[in-house]
Amino acid sequence: MMSKKMRLGVFLMGAGHHIGAWRHPKAAADAYESIDFYRQVALLAEKGKLDMLFISDALSLTEKSHPSELVRFEPLTLVSALAMTTAKIGLAATASTTYNEPFHIARKFASIDHLSNGRSAWNIVTSYYEEEAYNFGDLPHPPHAKRYERAAEFVEVAKKLWRSWERGAVIRNQQTGIYFDANKVHAVNHKGKYFSVKGPLNASALPQGEPVLIQAGSSTYGTKFAARYADVVFTAQQHLRGAKRFYRNLKEQVAAAGRLPEEVLVMPGISPITANSKEEAEAIYEELQSLLDEETSLAFLSDYLGKVSFSRKQLHQPLSIADLPPTNGNQSRRDLIVELASREQLTVLQLARRVAGARGHHIVCGSPTQIADVMETWFREKGADGFNLMFPYYPGLMETFIEQVIPILQQRGLFRLDYEGETLRSHLGLHEHQV
Ligand SMILES: Cc1cc2nc3c(=O)[nH]c(=O)nc-3n(C[C@H](O)[C@H](O)[C@@H](O)COP(=O)(O)O)c2cc1C
């Protein structure tokens, strides 16, 4: 029996992660703005004893945006609703450090942590879409390095705010009339390059001390930031070799930053298609591929590559790496896609169709045992401490996984039989933050 347990989140994305998902007859096409849908999948995730729900975000759309990015719930609002319909599972919401202020974000996560009794997590992103800038004044989207510089100061300020109320500061003694101990509440008085924040926060010490901090960005700046601040790193990895390289590199950086490598969990995305056999699972994948439309698939690819437009002729030729412009967006995803194209010698159209399957994440087709085998191998060989599950369509493929793959992982001693603690930090085996 293995004592270390695999950590599993589920990345909820409305109808599904496959770009054609919303057209699949078994998918919930109205999922993006349906609380009934989210409530149903959240309960399913809790039934499977998963560690957390994960909600991504963006702050803009264009006429080419996919349905998943046209209309959707704001993540913090959504997780606060789900906190009321679940009891144990962690609630991870994405919020950008580029288009928010630290006081707002620190306060909102403090509220979520209180109202969920210690189940909050913040997926810290710096925003990858240039268009987001147009919704926040006239300034251009800041360059990649500046976004990460601001993100670091942002998190420092948020941490100071979360520490501004010591535990025990709230007294609420009805006899003496003393509500709180002012000696245990501290101003923050932060003055830095990007922010000036006096504090304290108008929320008492969080049940978890701090929300679980998730980082999703794998560039050089991204991993440096993660090594310093993250509890969990969400990353896209296509194959075990690359995952092991990323894992080793990140854990080395964590140690160099003066932290323990096991304090930071690496959770790549995985998109499992579970069926009775590998052939049946591949048939589901092909059915989803048949629902793709060329234009949306190419729009996704173009975004990831840094807004490239392709001529008709280029679509049937290999991707020309030399012609790619520099990008201010998601650098690690672009590197991954470029590597995939050259490794498998894909034409632009074939590449667009591949990326459409799980936005560059690893797709695995197989029987329940085969899916569990892949996950176990990545886990044992130090390519992953766990996974963020990204089902091609919901709820069907998630149900199959929860009913058929989770019990195998449990029988192998790789995954919990039940929740042992109350907070997300305890599910993940992370220490509680002292305040
Ligand atoms: C797996 C993964 C998921 C991400 N999810 C989001 C997201 O939901 N919203 C967002 O604005 N950025 C998201 N990002 C973007 C990063 O947070 C970062 O802002 C962007 O600059 C890309 O990071 P990188 O260049 O360090 O790889 C994600 C990045 C990765 C690798």
Q: Whose CA is nearest to atom 23 of ligand 1?
A: 217
Statement: residue 150 has pLDDT above 60: yes
d(CA 262, CA 247): 11
- pLDDT band (50, 70, 90) for residue 320: confident
Mean pLDDT score, 188-202: 98
Return the pLDDT at 125.
96
Give the pLDDT of residue 248. 97
What pLDDT is recorded for position 254? 97
- Atom 4 of ligand 1: nearest residue by CA position: 216
Mutate to test the pocket of ligand 1, among 53, 96, 124, 126 (most ligand atoms within 8 A of CB): 126
Exposure on the CB side of residue 114, measured as CA atoms within 13 A: 12
Instruction: Please give the average per-residue pLDDT across 269-280, as a whole number.
Output: 98
pLDDT at 11 over 90: yes
The tens digit of pLDDT for each residue in 369-421 reads: 999 999 999 999 999 999 999 999 999 999 999 999 999 999 999 999 999 99
Largest CA distance in the chain: 81
Residue with tokens 């000696």: 183
The CA 217 to ligand 1 mean position distance, Å, reads 5
Q: How far is the CA of 28 from the centre of ligand 1 (A)?
A: 26
> How far does the centroid of ligand 1 lie from the alpha carbon of residue 318, in Å?
26
126 alpha carbon – ligand 1 mean position (Å)? 7
State mean pLDDT over 320-330: 76
pLDDT, mean of residues 319-337 = 80
Note the pLDDT of residue 333.
84
pLDDT of residue 330: 72
**pTM here?**
0.95
Mean local confidence (pLDDT), 4-16: 96
Query: If pLDDT is split at 50, 70 and 90, which confidence band does 1 have?
Result: low
Among 66, 73, 330, name the best residue to mutate to test ligand 1's pocket (greatest count of ligand atoms within 8 A of Cβ). 330
Percent of the chain clearing pLDDT 70 (strictly above): 99
| Confidence check: pLDDT of 217 > 80 | no
